[in-house]
Amino acid sequence: MEQHILSLSGLGRSFGSTRAVDRVTLDIPPGQFVGVIGRSGAGKSTLLRLINRLIDPTEGQIRFGGADVTALKGRALRNWRRDCAMIFQQFNLVERLDVLTNVLVGRLADHGFASSMLMRFSDAERALAIRALDRLDLAPQAMQRAGTLSGGQQQRVAIARALVQNPRIMLADEPIASLDPGNATRVMEALRTINREDGITVLVNLHTIDTARAYCDRIIAMRAGRVYFDGTARQLTDDVLRDIYGSEGLPAFDPSVTSTAIRPVVTA
Amino acid sequence: MTAALAAPSSAVLAFERDFAAHRARARVTFVIVSLALVMATLLTADFSGFFRVTQVTLADGTRAERWVILAGIPKLGDYIAKTIPEIRWSTLVSDLGEWFWRWRIWADLLVETVLIAFMATVMGLAGGFVLSFPAARNLAPARWVLWLSRRYLEIARTVPEIVFALIFVFCFGVGPMAGVLAIAVHTAGSLGKLYSEVNENIDMRPLEGVKAAGGSWFDQIRYGAVPQILPNVISYTLLRFEINVRASSIIGYVGAGGLGQELRTAVALGEHTDLSALFVIIFATVMLIDWGSEKLRHRIIGLGRTL
Ligand SMILES: Nc1ncnc2c1ncn2[C@@H]1O[C@H](COP(=O)(O)OP(=O)(O)OP(=O)(O)O)[C@@H](O)[C@H]1O
Ligand SMILES: [Mg+2]
């Protein structure tokens, strides 16, 4: 698979008078594990949605290799969405369908109308889906209804769905925000494995600084729609954090308050 | 505790003030709305002639003025009395035989009636189902698609079956086909509206998940929406089947097949006991279908299948 740089230039999105994302310019080389942090409303979700093209930018451009992603339409747009898989905080699975079918949804971009409407998938696709589930230790649950799984299991089903898309980029919008520490760790480990073994670029929104420090090669902090910090975990000092989260009024800012890690992570 | 009671903060006082004002406003609104409703009811009752007075002949031959409802109720009793057949215990079998004297024809027509209802429900289900997605505000791919499918469903369900039946009898001739089409169009309109309201209440996150994975609009509907609405669709459709059996037993009145044509001849020829016999048949059938579909509905919903 060819490796391309994902580059955002002057990317912006406004909702009425709010500039949710404001002239963001970034280059993300292939295979990087990038964490995006920032306080609520900073524009993290909007940024990921712009990249996946779930929403359209009001200004700027997204390029991937030679292609102008912002100009894609129809079939090409669906293929782009397949190439940059998305994982949501609320999992966004179809609860009434079984786990296997939920994973096979990741194959829909390559299906015609009839086979998709009849929910007809090839044996090869099923095998792919089962292998993906097995990587996430969920093969035994394949025939269970997705709604009957725990939150952590559902998020891993969502990751399996993303995997069968054969994506080049994986976008995860607060994937561990509604999980307990144990499940949060499993999900983050799964993302790390995918990043390292499959060479997939990972872009993950996080609210927990420890997690960002522990997993990400690069941390991007957003504030009011802008990129406020872009660097390594080491460069992310407490002073920078205080600026990002705007906690001037609070006596002491403690990053471990937002931690989900089980074992204590050495901070800074 | 007592300290808090002794000195309520200004925020609490402000709340008490706002709350009292809110209560007063709510009370005024309630009175106004109630008065308006009572007025509207009285006006419409008057308009429909509920307060009319009519002349009646009393037992001693004199004529007197009576309120229309009181004057009419005895007549209703008379009519019903006429339709009740004479059945004696000693001649029960032959009396029943006489009451249902046309049972061969009625049995055939009953089957036709149920088949018309079934066929029309299937066709209406298909039409309503397909249109319910573009007619749902949250799912319609474009404004004009929403507008068009909504108007179509409105027309289809506003026009009564009997009117469609008249039109289709004119187009396709007397017979059950006209009845099937008439009821199917109306069913599509009603079910389409009901389904589209179910659609508007679904959880959109699964659809977003399908979209983010590269699924088309149809994929989002098929994988995200359909599994969510299916139990409701089945439930509404079975209910509609019951309604359609009632409808299909009437539309024969205008020549669109089913038992209705017998109702018409019975009324025209003054065969009052035939009317009660037909009523018993229709009543029994609808009850049977009611019971069956309820059993089925609970079965299907209880199953929680993954379709
Ligand atoms: N669909 C929308 N319509 C209107 N405003 C929106 C919409 N989506 C996002 N916004 C606004 O854009 C800004 C950024 O929102 P966004 O969801 O990207 O923030 P976030 O960083 O993901 O926050 P959180 O950490 O709470 O998830 C907010 O002010 C939000 O109110
Ligand atoms: Mg968000």
Tens of pLDDT, residues B19-66: 999 999 999 999 999 999 999 999 999 998 888 888 878 778 888 888
Query: Which range, of A71-85, A161-175, A246-260, averages the lowest pLDDT?
Result: A246-260
Average the pLDDT over B77-96 and give the result: 80
Per the structure, the complete domain to which residue A103 belongs is given by 6-258
What is the homologous superfamily of the domain B100-303 according to CATH?
A: MetI-like (1.10.3720.10)
Considering just the CA atoms, what is the radius of gyration of chain B in Å?
28
Q: Does B200 touch chain A (CB under 8 A)?
A: no
pLDDT of residue A262: 52
**Shortest alpha-carbon distance between residue B202 and chain A (Å):** 11
Residue A174 CA, ligand 2 centroid: distance in Å = 7
A36 membership: H or E segment, kind and range? strand A33-37
Phi-psi region of B172 (alpha: psi -120 to 50; beta: other; left: phi over 0): alpha
| Contacts for B56 with CB less than 8 Å, ≥ 6 apart | B63, B64, B65, B66, B71
CA-CA distance, A199 to B14, in Å (whole number)? 60
Average the pLDDT over A127-144 and give the result: 91
Q: Does B206 touch chain A (CB under 8 A)?
A: yes
CB contact under 8 A, A105 and B304: no
* pLDDT band with cut points at 50, 70 and 90 for residue B2: low
CB contact under 8 A, A92 and B228: no
Interface size A-B, in CB pairs within 8 Å, comes to 90
CB contact under 8 A, B216 and A116: yes
Query: Which range, of A127-136, B74-83, B117-126, B201-210, averages the lowest pLDDT?
Result: B74-83
The string of pLDDT tens digits covering residues B162-180 is 888 889 989 888 888 888 9
- A110-114, B66-70, B94-98, B200-204: which has the highest mean pLDDT? B200-204
Q: Which two tokens stand for residue A107?
A: 């194959």
Nearest CA among B104, B87, B105 for reference residue B96: B87
Mutation target for B interface from A105, A128, A154, A163: give the one with most B CBs within 10 A.
A105
CA-CA distance, A31 to A46, in Å (whole number)? 22
Q: Does A25 touch chain B (CB under 8 A)?
A: no
Q: Long-range contacts of range B274-282, CB-CB < 8 Å, 24 or more positions apart?
A: B274/B102, B275/B83, B276/B83, B276/B84, B276/B85, B276/B99, B277/B85, B277/B99, B277/B100, B277/B106, B278/B106, B279/B83, B281/B106, B281/B110, B282/B245, B282/B246, B282/B249
CB A35 within 8 A of CB A216: yes
Question: For residue A68, is it within any domain?
Answer: yes
Q: Does B210 touch chain A (CB under 8 A)?
A: yes
pLDDT of residue B259: 84
pLDDT of residue A260: 52
**Shortest alpha-carbon distance between residue B230 and chain A (Å):** 10
CB A261 within 8 A of CB A211: yes
Residue A217 pLDDT > 70: yes
Interface of A with B in 165-204 (CB under 8 A): 165
CA-CA distance, A191 to A179, in Å (whole number)? 15
Q: How many residues does chain B have?
A: 307
Q: Domain count of chain A?
A: 1
Residue B92 CA, ligand 1 centroid: distance in Å = 79
pLDDT of residue A266: 45
The string of pLDDT tens digits covering residues A118-135 is 989 999 999 999 999 998
pLDDT of residue B187: 94
Ligand 1 and A45: CB distance under 6 A: yes
Question: For residue A39, is it within any domain?
Answer: yes
CB A145 within 8 A of CB A152: no
Nearest CA among B288, B245, B282, B230 for reference residue B120: B245
CB A227 within 8 A of CB A221: yes
pLDDT of residue A146: 92
Average the pLDDT over B7-17 and give the result: 88
Q: Does B232 touch chain A (CB under 8 A)?
A: no
Query: In which residue are the tokens 């509907």 written?
Result: B221
Considering just the CA atoms, what is the radius of gyration of chain A in Å?
19
User: What percentage of chain A has pLDDT greater than the value 70?
Assistant: 91
Ligand 1 pocket test, pick from A46, A58, A88 with the greatest ligand atom count within 8 Å of Cβ, gives A46
CB contact under 8 A, A91 and B216: no
Average the pLDDT over A87-105 and give the result: 93
CB contact under 8 A, B218 and A88: no
**Shortest alpha-carbon distance between residue B227 and chain A (Å):** 6
CA-CA distance, A7 to A28, in Å (whole number)? 6
Q: Which two tokens stand for residue B232?
A: 């409701």
B251, with CB counted inside 10 A (0-12, 13-18, 19+), is buried
Q: Which two tokens stand for residue B39?
A: 């007025």
Query: In which residue are the tokens 């009117």 written?
Result: B163
**CATH code, domain with A87:** 3.40.50.300
Nearest CA among A86, A81, A130 for reference residue A104: A130
What are the angstrom distances between the C-alpha of A188 and each of A92, A113, A165, A249?
18, 35, 19, 32
pLDDT of residue A265: 46
Question: For residue A266, is it within any domain?
Answer: no
CB contact under 8 A, B228 and A105: no
Amino acid at B261: Q
What are the angstrom distances between the C-alpha of B268 and each of B18, B106, B202, B249, B253?
68, 17, 51, 17, 11
Atom number in ligand 1 closest to CA A42:
21
The string of pLDDT tens digits covering residues B101-122 is 778 888 888 888 899 999 999 9
Question: For residue A21, is it within any domain?
Answer: yes
Dihedral (CA of A215, A218, A223, A225) sign = negative
Average the pLDDT over A2-8 and give the result: 83
What are the domain boundaries of chain B?
55-92, 100-303
The string of pLDDT tens digits covering residues B226-275 is 999 998 898 899 889 988 988 888 888 887 777 888 888 888 887 888 88
Residue A36 CA, ligand 1 centroid: distance in Å = 14
Mutation target for B interface from A45, A53, A84, A97: give the one with most B CBs within 10 A.
A97
Interface of B with A in 41-70 (CB under 8 A): none
Query: In which residue are the tokens 């471990």 written?
Result: A256
- Compute the mean pLDDT over every residue in chain A, rounded to the nearest whole number: 86
Dihedral (CA of B244, B246, B250, B252) sign = positive
* pLDDT band with cut points at 50, 70 and 90 for residue A247: low
Ligand 1 pocket test, pick from A14, A24, A37, A44 with the greatest ligand atom count within 8 Å of Cβ, gives A44
Neighbours of A232 (CB within 10 A): 11
- List the single residue in B213, B223, B306 with the smallest CB-CB distance to A82: B213
CA-CA distance, B211 to B209, in Å (whole number)? 5
pLDDT of residue B15: 92
Query: In which residue are the tokens 């088309």 written?
Result: B216
**Shortest alpha-carbon distance between residue A119 and chain B (Å):** 9
Residue B100 pLDDT > 80: no
**What is the distance of C-alpha B183 from the center of its chain?**
12
Phi/psi of residue B14, each to 5°? -60, -40
CA-CA distance, A37 to A42, in Å (whole number)? 9
**Shortest alpha-carbon distance between residue A245 and chain B (Å):** 29
pLDDT of residue A258: 52
**DSSP letter for each residue of A71-136:** G--HHHHHHHHHHEEEE-TT----TTSBHHHHHHGGGGGG--HHHHHTT---HHHHHHHHHHHHHT
Which chain A residues have a beta carbon less than 8 Å from that of B216? 78, 108, 113, 116
Ligand nearest to the CA of A40: 1
Question: For residue A239, is it within any domain?
Answer: yes
CA-CA distance, A40 to A166, in Å (whole number)? 31
pLDDT of residue A233: 83
What are the angstrom distances between the C-alpha of A231 and each of A62, A208, A245?
21, 17, 17
CA-CA distance, B51 to B40, in Å (whole number)? 15
Q: Does A78 touch chain B (CB under 8 A)?
A: yes
Ligand 1 and A42: CB distance under 6 A: yes
Residue B306 pLDDT > 60: no
**Which tops the pLDDT comparison, B14 or B252?**
B14
Residue A249 pLDDT > 50: no
With b for 16 or more beta-carbon neighbours within 10 A and e for fewer, the B22-45 pattern comes to: eeeeeeeeeeeeeeeeeeeeeeee
Q: Which two tokens stand for residue B152?
A: 């179509």
Q: Does B209 touch chain A (CB under 8 A)?
A: yes
Is the pTM higher than 0.95? The answer reads: no
Average the pLDDT over A26-49 and give the result: 91
Phi/psi of residue B203, each to 5°? -80, 125
Ligand 1 and A213: CB distance under 6 A: no
ipTM score here? 0.88
Residue A252 pLDDT > 70: no
